[in-house]
């Protein structure tokens, strides 16, 4: 394709995406009206499947775990664009100004749980698929739009399943988690840990006869607070420092009138570049022992569940760190796509939170970028919204990327 034809094509994609602005918003509104918390995604997946079939994707199928996959094109390589369609719950409903599942469209916004995190991305993907079909896309890629599940409970497990069990392996991957239309190239990993401490129980009327696991837990929690302060950023300060926080303390014993003999601290550990699970576990163990406690057990728990299809699957709660270098061809293709569509280069950054890229890039080293409608700060918050103008712009980006990426890859090889 010569430069003039390419310019006309990009202009056509943008015009189509903008003309479908209201259609995209209406689709998001309808998606929001079908609630789908983790492991309760059946109705939303079936609704999305119907939408994909109505649009006319070349292939639409549901995998064994319950993810929905829709394809345009039949090229030899897989370009995957992913949105998880499950959400967290609504929390305290009294904090919501309107029904969390209203899908109201007002003031240039779509309202409701999941609009930013992250069914806005899913709605934009539908529009991108429609555009590619209308353009009769027949390029280098099979462009797969994946509407994935269980991310909020266990990020990346859906892709661990697809890659390891169904051998569905992307060549390139785009996460549509909210980026405020910035281009993202990494984020910290994370893991969960349990710290187990033991005491010696005795009657509560004479606590000096026992050893309180509660007081051990208190000292251990303070040791974790100190450890968090000592953690360092990555070498180039792109992802930032690792963190660790005590998210739960459980203490119990024989009765309410006894010195407790068992304690458990639950930890949320964010891992920057160069940190891994073995290092993190040893840091926690050493920090607690240094606080004067004589014995501690630190374990990484496992998540295991039956999905909405009935399929049982699970993994350890470890989600590896990932990043791409700024000059990676996929990052450059994303940047060129954005610049050609909107006339200015994108801001390149990273997420604070974690995404399905922990499995695709962190676990399997498949190149990933992020580009999505909505704001990360809206995630899990009451009165969640996303901007309608973000939706059509994201759709244009997803539809244009399959045309830009082969050109950038060819340039990188010369």
Q: Please report, in angstroms and rounded to a whole number, the separation of the first and last CA atoms in the chain.
A: 18
Pairing of strands 105-106, 368-370: unpaired
Phi then psi for residue 117, to 5 deg, are -120, 85
What's the CA gap between 14 and 17, in Å, rounded? 5
- Tell me the per-residue pLDDT of 166-218, one tens digit each, with 9 for 90 and over: 999 999 999 999 999 999 999 999 999 999 999 999 999 999 999 999 999 99
Q: What average pLDDT score do residues 140-145 get?
A: 97
User: Is pLDDT of 4 > 80?
Assistant: no
* Residue from 170, 173, 175, 174 nearest 76 by CA: 170
* Residue from 11, 16, 291 nearest 128 by CA: 16
What's the CA gap between 158 and 174, in Å, rounded? 15
pLDDT at 320: 97
With H, G, I as helix, E, B as strand and everything else as coil, classify residue 189: strand
Which helix (DSSP H) or strand (DSSP E) does residue 4 occupy? helix 3-19
pLDDT at 31: 98
pLDDT at 6: 84
Q: What average pLDDT score do residues 25-47 get?
A: 97
Residue 414: pLDDT band (50, 70, 90) is confident
DSSP 409: H
**Residue 149 · residue 308 · CB < 8 Å:** yes
What's the CA gap between 371 and 179, in Å, rounded? 6
User: Is pLDDT of 1 > 80?
Assistant: no
**Residue 83 · residue 118 · CB < 8 Å:** yes
Q: Does domain 190-305 have CATH number 3.30.70.360?
A: yes
Token pair for 207: 């606590």
Residues of the chain with CATH 3.30.70.360: 190-305
What's the CA gap between 306 and 312, in Å, rounded? 4
**Residue 192 · residue 267 · CB < 8 Å:** yes
**Residue 72 · residue 138 · CB < 8 Å:** no
Which helix (DSSP H) or strand (DSSP E) does residue 280 occupy? helix 277-290
Residues of the chain with CATH 3.40.630.10: 3-187+321-413
Q: What average pLDDT score do residues 70-80 get?
A: 98
What's the CA gap between 412 and 345, in Å, rounded? 19
Per DSSP, helices labelled H in 108-234 are 120-134, 157-164, 213-230
Q: What average pLDDT score do residues 6-10 get?
A: 91
User: Is pLDDT of 367 > 70?
Assistant: yes
pLDDT at 27: 98
**Residue 120 · residue 386 · CB < 8 Å:** yes
Q: Quote the percentage of the chain above a pLDDT of 70.
A: 100
Q: Is the dihedral of CA 304, 307, 310, 315 positive or negative?
A: negative
- Tell me the per-residue pLDDT of 369-412, one tens digit each, with 9 for 90 and over: 999 999 999 999 999 999 999 999 999 999 999 999 999 999 88
CATH of 3-187+321-413, one of 3.60.150.10, 3.40.630.10, 3.40.50.410, 3.30.230.70: 3.40.630.10
User: Is pLDDT of 133 > 70?
Assistant: yes
CA 264 to chain centre: 28
Q: What average pLDDT score do residues 83-112 get?
A: 97
Indicate which residues carry an active-site annotation.
86, 151
**Residue 152 · residue 159 · CB < 8 Å:** no
pLDDT at 3: 73
Token pair for 82: 């992913």
């Amino acid at each position: 394709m010569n430069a003039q034809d390419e310019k006309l094509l990009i202009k056509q994609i943008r015009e189509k995406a903008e003309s479908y602005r209201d259609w995209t918003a209406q689709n998001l509104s309808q998606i929001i009206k079908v609630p789908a918390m983790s492991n309760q995604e059946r109705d939303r997946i079936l609704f999305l499947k119907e939408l994909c079939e109505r649009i006319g994707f070349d292939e639409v199928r549901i995998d064994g775990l319950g993810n929905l996959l829709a394809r345009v094109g039949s090229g030899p390589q897989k370009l995957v664009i992913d949105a998880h369609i499950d959400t967290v719950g609504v929390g305290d409903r009294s904090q919501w100004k309107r029904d969390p599942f209203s899908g109201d469209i007002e003031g240039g916004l779509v309202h409701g749980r999941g609009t930013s995190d992250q069914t806005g991305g899913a709605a934009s993907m539908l529009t991108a698929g429609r555009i590619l079909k209308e353009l009769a896309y027949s390029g280098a890629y099979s462009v797969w739009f994946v509407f994935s599940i269980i991310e909020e409970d266990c990020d990346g497990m859906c892709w661990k399943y697809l890659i390891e069990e169904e051998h569905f392996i992307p060549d390139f991957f785009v996460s549509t988690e909210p980026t405020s239309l910035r281009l993202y190239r990494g984020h910290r990993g994370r893991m969960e840990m349990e710290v187990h401490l033991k005491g010696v129980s005795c009657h509560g009327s004479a606590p000096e006869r026992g050893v309180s696991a509660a007081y051990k837990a208190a000292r251990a929690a303070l040791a974790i607070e100190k450890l968090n302060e000592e953690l360092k950023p990555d070498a180039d300060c792109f992802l930032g420092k690792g963190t660790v926080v005590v998210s739960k303390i459980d203490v119990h014993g024989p009765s309410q009138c006894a010195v407790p003999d068992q304690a458990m601290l639950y930890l949320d550990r964010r891992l920057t570049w160069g940190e891994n699970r073995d290092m993190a576990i040893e840091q926690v163990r050493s920090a607690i022992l240094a606080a004067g406690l004589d014995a501690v057990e630190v374990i990484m728990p496992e998540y295991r569940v039956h999905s909405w299809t009935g399929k049982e699957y699970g993994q350890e709660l470890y989600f590896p760190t990932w990043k791409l270098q700024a000059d990676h061809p996929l990052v450059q293709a994303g940047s060129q796509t954005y610049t050609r569509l909107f006339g200015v280069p994108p801001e390149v950054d990273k997420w604070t939170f974690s995404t399905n890229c922990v499995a695709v890039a962190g676990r399997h080293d498949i190149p990933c970028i992020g580009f999505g409608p909505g704001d990360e700060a809206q995630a899990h918050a009451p009165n969640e919204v996303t901007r309608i103008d973000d939706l059509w712009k994201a759709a244009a980006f997803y539809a244009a990327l399959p045309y830009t990426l082969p050109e950038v890859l060819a340039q990188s090889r010369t």
